[in-house]
Amino acid sequence: MIKLFPILESSYNIYQVTVLLKNYKDFSKTEILDQIRAVPFVIRVKIEENDRLHQISKGHDYEYSLVKIKYLNVFGEASRGIKEVHDIIVAGHDNFHKIKGVIKFQPLIRTLKKIK
């Protein structure tokens, strides 16, 4: 059996970026992260705990999180790849609806790095 990941790895670049995610508290964070995982080109989604962001979110109907995302870049420039992911999440595209509950999905471009 042929493994797909090594084939993809040899054809495209894989990048990682940290994203500031703002979502409504009445939507399940797990559900939102699962929907992000289903976005084309996204390989891995991992939430990072941040006490400062939890403090900022107290008393509001929204919450902030830092999320690390690994994605497959097929668009040449690395920042263009994460912009495509961003656009799908906040506005939807073709067969993908925007992810409900997401208020803001802001890639921190300074954290963008090539993995492979």
Overall average pLDDT of the 6-15 stretch: 69
Residue 1 lies in a domain: no
Number of domains composing the chain: 1
Q: What is the pTM of this model?
A: 0.83
Cβ–Cβ under 8 Å, residues 65 and 53: yes
Q: What is the domain extent for residue 22?
A: 13-114
**Could you tell me what percent of the chain has a pLDDT over 90?**
59
Q: What backbone phi and psi angles, to 5 degrees, belong to 63?
A: -140, 155
3 state SS of 73: strand
Q: Is the pLDDT of residue 9 over 60?
A: no
CATH number at residue 76: 3.30.70.380
Residue 6 lies in a domain: no
Overall average pLDDT of the 24-51 stretch: 93
Residue 110 lies in a domain: yes
Element (H, E) at 57: helix 51-57
